[in-house]
Amino acid sequence: MMHGQVDHEEDRTLLAAIAIGDRGAFQQFYSRHAGRVLGYVRQLTRNPALAEDITQEAFVAVWLKAASYQADRGDPAGWLFTITRNKLVDKWRRGDRDAETDGAPILAGLADPPNPIDVRVSLRQAMSHLTDDQRRMLEMAYYGGLTYEETADALRVPVGTLKSRMRAALGQLRVILEGST
Amino acid sequence: MAAGAKYHPSQELLLEFATGGGDRPRRALIEAHLAHCADCRSDLGRVARPGGALLAAVDDAPLPPALLDRIVQRIDSMPALPPQPADGIDLPPGVLAELVSMKPLRWRSPALRGSRIATLFHDDHSGAVLHLGWMPGGRVFPPHRHAGAEEVVVLAGGYTDGPKHVETGDWVVTEPGASHSPTTDPGEDCWILTRLDAPIRFTGWRGWLQRAALLFSSITRR
Ligand SMILES: [Zn+2]
C-alpha cells in the first residue's frame, strides 16, 4: 500500500462523502483502514473480542465525526488515530481489566517494525532526535493509556516537571516534523 | 464569526486530545474550539501526525467478515449527525457527534432570571459535566465561586470577565476557588459550552439560598 499525498487526498474525499451520509464511502474508508486499526488495538489489548469491540466503536465514531473533520486538521490517518485512542482510553477508564496492558512488549514490537514502511514522517526517526526522557514521555502519551498523573507517577517525576518536559519534547518534535515536510 | 480565537487550550491539552485522553466533556469542548480556530486545528494536525504514521506502520489484522455487518447495523439506526438540541444555536459537528441518543434538554435558571443552563452530559469516570449555557446581551451573571476548575468555549456572542473580553471560539479557564461575575456584550445573545469539575457555589444571598435549598433537600430526602 502506498502512503503519501494521494492517499490522504482520497481519504479526505471519502470523509467528505461520509459526512453527508454516504454509506458506500464509509465502507471504502473501512476497508482502507480497519485492518490496521484492529491490528493496532490488538497489540494494545491482546484480547481479540475486545479489540473488535473497540474497532467497532471507532468506526461508528468515524461515521458520526466525519462532518467535524476539516482538511486543515491534518491528515486523516492522524484523525483516525485520535478516534481509535479515544475508544481505547474510554475502555481503560471504565476499568476494563482485559483492556489493560503493561506497555513494554508493545513498545518493543513497535520499536522494530517487521517491514520498513515508506511513511512520509517516521515517528521512530523523529523520536531518535529526542533525549531518552523526552522519548519515554512521548511514547507513553502515544502508545500507553496513561493520564499525566499516572505517567508522572510511573516516571517518578512531579506532574509539573512532566508537563514542562513534555512541552519541550513536543516543541522539538514539532520542529523535526516541520523540517521533514 | 470572529476571524480567530484569542484564547486557546494549552499544548498539553491538544496533545492529550490527539492521543485520545481527556474525558468526554473536555473532548467536546476542544471540538467546539477547533470549529472556530484554524491555528489549533493545524497544531492538532501536527501533534496527531506521529499517531497517523504509527497507525500506517501497523500490520493489517485479518478482518472478521461479521465486523463490518455489525458496524453497518449500528450506523443504520443513526443519522450522519444527531439533531441540534437547542433552538438559537448550532453546535459544531464535533460536539453534536457526542450527543447521540440524547434526551430533550432540561433548562434551568441558576441565577434565577436572565440566563439558562442545561446539562449536555456527565462523565461517569471523571465526574466532570458539560453544560450548554445561554444569556441575553447586556446582562450580569451574579457573582459565584467555582469549587473546581471551569473551562468555557464561547459559541456565540461575547462577554467581559474581569480584565478579559472574550468572543466566539475563545477558550476561557477559571481556576478552582476563583469568583467571577461575567457581563455579556450588549445587543447579542451569548451562548457558551462549559466543562465543570465540580458544582459552582453562589456567593451572597443566592449562595445562602442555594445552601438552604441543599440543606432542605437533604433533610426531606431522609
Ligand atoms: Zn485555538
B201 forms beta bridges with: B145
Q: Encode pLDDT of B131-177 as tens digits.
A: 999 999 998 887 877 778 899 999 999 999 988 999 999 999 988 88
CB contact under 8 A, A67 and B80: yes
CA distance A48 to chain B (A): 10
- Please check the confidence at residue A162 and state whether its pLDDT lies above 60: yes
**ipTM, two decimals:** 0.85
Mean pLDDT of B183-200: 88
Q: Encode pLDDT of A30-64 as tens digits.
A: 999 999 999 988 877 778 899 999 999 999 999 99
- Going by pLDDT thresholds of 50, 70 and 90, the confidence category of residue A90 is confident
Domains of chain B: 1-222 (2.60.120.10)
3-state secondary structure chain A: CCCCHHHHHHHHHHHHHHHCCCHHHHHHHHHHHHHHHHHHHHHHHCCHHHHHHHHHHHHHHHHHHHHHCCHHHCCHHHHHHHHHHHHHHHHHHCCCHHHCCCCHHHHHHHHCCCCCCCCCCCHHHHHCCCCHHHHHHHHHHHHCCCCHHHHHHHHCCCHHHHHHHHHHHHHHHHHHHHHCC
A-chain residue closest to B35, CA distance: A68
CB contact under 8 A, A68 and B61: no
CB contact under 8 A, B48 and A166: no
- A38 CA to centre of ligand 1 in angstroms: 32
Q: Encode pLDDT of B82-138 as tens digits.
A: 889 999 999 999 999 988 877 889 898 866 567 899 999 988 878 899 999 999 999
Alpha-helical segments (H) within chain B: 11-18, 24-36, 38-57, 65-76, 93-96, 204-220
**Backbone phi and psi for residue B217, each to the nearest 5 degrees, phi listed first:** -70, -30
pLDDT of B140 reads 87
CB contact under 8 A, B49 and A78: yes
CB contact under 8 A, A117 and B57: yes
Helical (H) or strand (E) element with B90: none
CB of B51 closer than 8 Å to CB of B58: no
The CA distance from A120 to A108, in Å, is 22
The CA distance from A77 to A87, in Å, is 16
Q: Which three cell numbers stand for residue B37?
A: 480556530
Buried b (16+ CB within 10 A) or exposed e, A82-99: bbbbbbbbbbbbeebeeb
CA distance B140 to chain A (A): 33
A-chain residue closest to B64, CA distance: A52
CA distance B120 to chain A (A): 17
CB of A36 closer than 8 Å to CB of B55: yes
Residues of B in contact with A141 (CB under 8 A): 15-16, 19, 21
pLDDT of B129 reads 92
- Average model confidence (pLDDT) for chain B? 84
Strands B158-161 and B164-167: antiparallel
CB of B47 closer than 8 Å to CB of B14: yes
pLDDT of B141 reads 82
Q: Encode pLDDT of B32-90 as tens digits.
A: 999 999 999 998 888 887 788 778 777 889 999 999 999 999 998 887 778 899 999 99
- Going by pLDDT thresholds of 50, 70 and 90, the confidence category of residue B15 is confident
pLDDT of A128 reads 65
- Going by pLDDT thresholds of 50, 70 and 90, the confidence category of residue A175 is low
**Backbone phi and psi for residue B114, each to the nearest 5 degrees, phi listed first:** 85, 0
Per the document, the length of chain A is 181
Listed residue (B138, B43, B50) closest to A142, CA to CA = B50
Per the document, the length of chain B is 222
CB contact under 8 A, A123 and B47: no
pLDDT of B147 reads 77
Domains of chain A: 1-103 (1.10.1740.10), 111-181 (1.10.10.10)
